[in-house]
Chain A
Amino acid sequence: MNGAPGGRTVFRPAAAARAVETAGAWLLGLLWVLPLAYAVWTAFHPAAYSTRFELGAPLTLQNFVNAWHAAPFARYFLNTMLLVTMVLAAQLVLGTLAAYALARFEFRGRDLVFGLVLLQLMVMPDVLIVENYRTMNALGLRDTIVAIGLPYFASAFGIFLLRQTFKTVPKELDDAARVEGASALQVLLKVYVPLARPVYLAYALVSVSYHWNNFLWPLIVTNSVETRPLTVGLQVFSSTDQGVDWSIITAATLMTSAPLLVGFLLFQRQFVQSFMRAGIR
């Protein structure tokens, strides 16, 4: 990485100040992982040790086994994967088409349309739960995975990002392709889409983690096990009237967060870099 713009190496603070700063950063880091570390401790030890931190305590995987059998998590996983895949695919296709239109075509009302699109950045489907629920009923789509994803298929954020990216593509490439007889759609596919790959990657990461973690709208729109995503399944599972068993709940919590966590651990470099290369500021 280039020299720290924060000026740390340039200004050379005194060694003591630097040590304090390092300590501060580390303390914050430790505080930040503490809840997760706590969850890991509780999940891997029997219930009796969930509040006692004795180093010699026996490890166990039984909590995960119990959690897995206590609710149909396999089905919840499947539902969530279907959901995020479906939403991402739709968002990419619709977003690309719309962004292309807004970036490269001159037509009357273009700014108005862009404004209407941007409206969704503020007024998200999450806020309009009462009305959207009614719409889903009218469409007869209640309690389906499509119903969870449908309000999100058109993503203002995606359109905004892609439009911005498409605008940076040099006109010459566009013209060159046209000269070779490509239609508008072919230009889109051959020229614009490949050049916007970092943005697609960044957007995909954001979209997947958003929809993996989405809770309120899926809670309202789903009722049965066949459609519930992991978040709703976890909440239904962990709200018991008979007293909470932390060991099982933390095991279930880790299970449901694990894919995203592992994905992030493996791809964190790409994650951060794609954000930066995409010029998202």
Chain B
Amino acid sequence: MHKTLAIASVALAFGTAQPAAAQKTTEINFYYPVAVGGPVTKTIDQMAADFSKENPDIKVNPIYSGTYQESIVKVLTATKSGKPPQLAVLLSTDMFSLIDEDAIVPIDDLAKSADDRKWLDGFYKAFMMNSRTGGKTWGVPFQRSTIVLYWNKDAFKEAGLDPEKGPATWDQMVEYARKLTKTDASGNVAQWGLKIPSSGFPYWLFQGLTTPNDALLMNEAGTETYFDKPAVVEALQYWVDLSAKHKVMPSGVIEWGTTPKDFFEKKAAMIWTTTGNLTNIRANATFPFGVAMLPAKKHPGSPTGGGNFYIFAKTTPAEQQAALRFVKWATAPQRAAQWSIATGYVAVTPAAWETPEMKKYAQDVPQATVARDQLQHSVAELSTHDNQRVTTALNNGLQAALTGSKPPAEALRDAQREAARILKDYK
């Protein structure tokens, strides 16, 4: 009798245990780059935890992988050795390189239902520009940005400028910068009028000058570049003149990483940097500051920037679907709004801007809306096949011109020649 009871209870235990055991958890490794304002891992870890709570059958492992450039190396290293992550946030411009390596799957192959289609159509068109090619969507916008100009309102007042208005044109930017550049008794510059960083990825900031000058740097298919067109050369000449002729910017290469700190330390009255630095600057600037769209030449304009979600091939269909669910969850209006508020990146869907938190945030921090409003003038970020190599060629040319070792026309001509050589196999 006891034995029968024992066997029965064991069978019952197993019986009830079965359904639970049958529900397996899908695990996805999620590589993400870039520091967020505040403790790096906490925000993303919180997201992963929240998602897993709502979706207990999926476990997201966030893995911090450094800068965008370091992350693409890590992702491709992992892919080439047969163990890719299931999900990653990488530069939107890495799309061609990832396609060439057969690393990613098109999102439309996974997002087939009508609801999914609506979701994919819900993003700002400007952000989709670096996310689509060959009629397919390969990336989903997540932490996207544009370049904006931050200005120190106190410094403006001191220099006799209207503290509520940033420079609207190239000429105004030079004129303001002249008034804002201050030298001390020994002849050293105590405060520069303007700093446009040129280390690491100057090509992106350069697009902040070519776009207002109505010049495009590459074609949509990513097989051709136009680095030596006259409008492009003119933009580079303007950049070089800022330090060489007008002396409102230091000569040589300006470090990207220290530019916000230069702003806090009042060593630069105006800086160009990503809108993603907004929360950082809000937290650390001891003075009132303004945010403006990039000054216009023929019209205003900026490149978009930042990272997209990519879902990787050579993973199981279950993992890909799980990754898609996380992507949809993370880009839902509520969460996109939260992410934007926490960092300063532009919330990637118009729907996110309509949420109550976002509306309140836009009221409290009007500077946050500048990047969004700039979207209508924005163009795709430079993106071609063999992207790392082509951007390196352009970066080298830009740094050569900015350090004075080559005149702009020659620097860009050399860069164009190098890019053409790299891309000729892709035509």
Contacts and interface: CB of A to CB of B under 8 A. Distances in A.
A and B touch in the complex (CB under 8 A): yes
Contacts of B67: 239-241
A242 B261 CA distance: 10
Contacts of A224: 29, 63
A236 B39 contact: no
Contacts of A225: 63-64
A236 B261 CA distance: 20
B207 to A, nearest CB: 16
B39 A241 contact: no
A143 B77 CA distance: 10
A70 interface: yes
B65 interface: yes
A243 B68 contact: no
B257 A243 contact: yes
A137 interface: yes
B277 A243 contact: yes
Interface in B147-198: none
Nearest to A72: B41
B284 interface: yes
B39 A69 contact: yes
B42 A244 contact: no
B78 interface: yes
Interface in A209-261: 220, 223-225, 235-237, 239-244, 246
Contacts of B42: 69
A236 B284 CA distance: 23
Interface residues of B, number: 37
A66 interface: yes
A71 B34 contact: no
Contacts of A66: 39
A51 interface: yes
Nearest to A138: B81
A241 B78 contact: no
B261 A237 contact: no
Nearest to A50: B261
A137 B81 contact: yes
A242 B273 CA distance: 9
A243 B259 contact: yes
B237 to A, nearest CB: 28
B297 interface: no
A241 B82 CA distance: 29
A47 interface: yes
B83 A237 contact: no
A45 interface: no
Q: How many interface residues does chain A have, given as a range?
A: 20 to 34
Given A220-B77, A241-B35, A71 B41 contact: yes
Interface string B74-88: 100110111100000
Given A223-B78, A242-B37, A242-B277, A236 B65 contact: yes
B110 interface: no
A239 B261 CA distance: 15
Interface in B240-278: 256-261, 265, 273-274, 276-277
Contacts, number: 77
B280 interface: yes
A163 interface: no
Given A70-B40, A137-B80, A137-B81, A239 B74 contact: no
Interface in B271-302: 273-274, 276-277, 280, 284
Contacts of A143: 78, 81, 83
Given A223-B77, A239-B67, A243-B277, A70 B83 contact: no
A229 to B, nearest CB: 15
B366 interface: no
A128 to B, nearest CB: 16
Contacts of A246: 261
Given A142-B81, A244-B258, A236 B66 contact: yes
Contact of B40 (A223, A237, A243): A237
B33 interface: yes
Nearest to B34: A241
B39 to A, nearest CB: 5
Contacts of B256: 241
A70 B41 contact: yes
B70 interface: yes
A140 to B, nearest CB: 9
A240 B41 contact: no
Contacts of A71: 40-41, 64
A240 B280 CA distance: 12
A211 B149 CA distance: 44
A244 B257 contact: yes
A239 B34 CA distance: 8
Interface in B76-116: 77-78, 80-83
A241 B41 contact: no
**Central interface residue in B36, B39, B42, B276, by most chain A CB within 10 Å:** B39
Given A223-B63, A244-B261, 15 more contacts: A69-B42, A72-B41, A137-B81, A223-B65, A225-B63, A241-B33, A241-B256, A241-B274, A241-B276, A242-B36, A242-B274, A243-B258, A243-B260, A243-B280, A244-B258
8 contacts: A70-B40, A143-B81, A223-B74, A241-B68, A241-B257, A242-B274, A242-B280, A244-B258
